[in-house]
Amino acid sequence: MSCVVAIGAQWGDEGKAKMIDYFTPGSDIIVRYQGGANAGHTVVVKDKKYVFHLIPSGILHKGKICIIGNGVVLDPDQLSKEVDSLKDERLDVKSRLLISDSAHLILPYHKAMDEALEEFRSNKIGTTNRGIGPCYSDKCMRIGIRAGDVMNMDLLREKLDFSLKIKNLQLEKIHGKPTFKFDDIMDIIERFKDNFGDMIKNTQGYLHNAVRDGKKILLEGAQGYALDIDHGTYPYVTSSNPTIGGALLGTGLNSFNVTEVVGITKAYITRVGEGPFPTEDKGEEGERLRLNGREFGATTGRPRRCGWFDVELLKQSCSINGITSIALTKLDILQGFEKIKVSTGYKIDGKKVAYFPSSILNRVEPVYEELEGWDEDVTKCRKFSDLPKNARKYVNFLEKSIGVKIKILSVGPSRENTFEKKG
């Protein structure tokens, strides 16, 4: 039995989908554990691009079981779209996809609330407007609708009636927005039941049986460490826990089940939406990273903010998540930079700070070291020794500074552009 957790170690968009696709052949079951359709996971297989927002990208591998875990907030319409988009692939999606009965449903009023609240705020979060925060709020307020509720439609109607009354009051009275009709929401839920009712299971029990049967399980996170609602740069965060705690809560597995935690990390760093970002480069080089790295959101199309590798952030991410190895992605994007900057620490008011101060991150000044760049194309490299000398130096420098082994390198978008570091 093994249970590998793949976690975004920065601000999301680290190339998780590609790495999860790489780990999938060695897994029997792939579980998405938190977030919702705010995530956009892009996988390229033989030049064909797939973007998943909800379904684990492991679905592209025949025979693998994919689970939408209890920690996920699930948009029924988005799920339908994704399943439809895979119709032509002859992948037998429906018999391999399980949905936790405890996953909460995102309904249109959640998206409307997300938009209304963002409009109302003076400090914008830059939310993806996918209804994530309002759906998790309903979960905490105990007024949410869960996938498993479709097993008792009479009770579900009562729950929706109560929930919708509150939402409509808020939308109308506080935000002056249009309200939602009960029957329209019920139509969505009925469709969800018809299309996906058979896939709804007690996935916690299913996973514990799988552990007992010695299966290999891969837990797939969305977003990343610094967007975690507890450990990230609050309030500029998402409304769930992409970190290791979320992997356990969002699946029902326990810490003794986990055998490896892989931190997925870009060779530079990006952030979408608002919030502090000490190593952001707003100049020409940041723009060059954005263009070379095609750094535009897979969900919203927004340009991502780009900057230099942040060692303190990674060190903290490794501690919080118990990261046992690192997968370093997008090394190819750094080709052609004469110098590559790495922030090895921070200063606040001229004094060195040796940790990641998430609550006062807007006050830190990064302390940079500069490394020599390289001009060679690394996308054809298939082992560490194939990389140009300065690229190897860069990777070794990061590994030493972070203090955790870089086990896997990704030097291009396809499955083929990935290899183990070894040495």
13 is catalytic: yes
Does 276 interact with ligand IMP (rule: CB under 6 A)?
no
Identify residues 40-59 at the interface with ligand IMP (CB under 6 A).
40
Q: Can you tell me which residue has the tokens 């080089």?
A: 285
Does 76 interact with ligand IMP (rule: CB under 6 A)?
no
Catalytic residue among 13, 28, 101, 310: 13
41 is catalytic: yes
- Which part of the chain contacts ligand IMP (CB under 6 A), choosing from 37-45, 58-66, 146-154, 277-285? 37-45
Amino acid at 373: G
Which one among 100, 223, 265, 329 touches ligand IMP, defined by CB under 6 A?
Answer: 223
> Rounded distance, CA 208 to CA 212, Å?
6
Does 227 interact with ligand IMP (rule: CB under 6 A)?
yes
Long-range contacts of 160-168 (CB under 8 A, 24+ apart): 160/185, 160/186, 160/189, 163/138, 164/109, 167/109, 167/113, 168/109
- Which part of the chain contacts ligand IMP (CB under 6 A), choosing from 33-41, 43-51, 333-341, 359-367? 33-41
Which one among 10, 27, 34, 38 touches ligand IMP, defined by CB under 6 A?
Answer: 38
> Rounded distance, CA 250 to CA 228, Å?
14
- Which part of the chain contacts ligand IMP (CB under 6 A), choosing from 123-131, 153-161, 363-371, 388-396? 123-131
**Residue number with the smallest Cβ distance to ligand IMP:** 273
Does 329 interact with ligand IMP (rule: CB under 6 A)?
no
Q: Can you tell me which residue has the tokens 């083929």?
A: 416
Q: Cβ closer to ligand IMP: 26 or 235?
A: 235
Which one among 56, 71, 76, 133 touches ligand IMP, defined by CB under 6 A?
Answer: 133
Q: Cβ closer to ligand IMP: 286 or 345?
A: 286
What is the SS3 assignment for 153? helix
Torsion angle of the four alpha carbons 1, 39, 250, 242, in this order, in degrees rounded to the nearest 10: 90
Q: Cβ closer to ligand IMP: 191 or 294?
A: 294
Q: Cβ closer to ligand IMP: 227 or 391?
A: 227
Give me the sheet containing 65-68, strands edge to edge: 200-201, 97-100, 65-68, 29-32, 216-220, 2-8, 260-266, 325-329, 406-410, 418-420
Provide the greatest CA pair distance for the chain. 66
User: Using an 8 Å Cβ cutoff, are 197 and 87 in contact?
Assistant: no
Which one among 128, 317, 343, 358 touches ligand IMP, defined by CB under 6 A?
Answer: 128
Catalytic residue among 21, 28, 41, 138: 41
What is the SS3 assignment for 81? helix
Nearest to 400, CA basis, from 331, 342, 357: 342
Binding site for ligand IMP (CB under 6 A): 12-13, 38-40, 125-128, 130, 132-133, 222-223, 227, 236, 238-239, 272-273
Q: Would you name the residues annotated as active-site residues?
A: 13, 41
